[in-house]
Amino acid sequence: MGTSKKDFEIEKSDGEWRESLSPEQFHVLRKHGTERAFTSPLDKKYESGTYLCAGCGQELFNSETKFNSGTGWPSFYAPMEGATETTVDRSLFMTRVEVHCSRCGGHLGHVFEDGPKPTGQRYCMNGVALEFIPDSPTKES
């Protein structure tokens, strides 16, 4: 099941996704699930680095855009250019804007209009849908 009817660069069957993802990652990324608040170690990670899609490895967010929203999920005020796409999510008797990976269509979380400057947006992401790669320390010769 894809996030929308759009074709993505990376497409796999549910079986193939199940083989490459943990059960929790599959539930969130492929079935639009949500992890419990305050359970992701990425929520309180503030070191310098890049957040990737756990499904396909695409770079999604730079740590410079991360902030503590107090919601219990990793939050960012802007994704990397072209890394995410949005669709309208009308589940749970409300309308929200769903954020998904532009490369594999994996569900990442939702974006809200209550974030900090400069964008005013809060990309509230499921930590299980992300992988964090710390910046390499610079080597001096």
Cα–Cα distance measured from residue 131 to residue 17, given in angstroms and rounded to the nearest whole number: 16
User: Catalytic: 124?
Assistant: yes
Beta-bridge partner residues of 130: 53
Catalytic residue among 53, 56, 101, 124: 124
* Residue 12 CA neighbour count, 13 Å, CB half: 17
Cα–Cα distance measured from residue 98 to residue 86, given in angstroms and rounded to the nearest whole number: 5
| Active-site residue set | 124
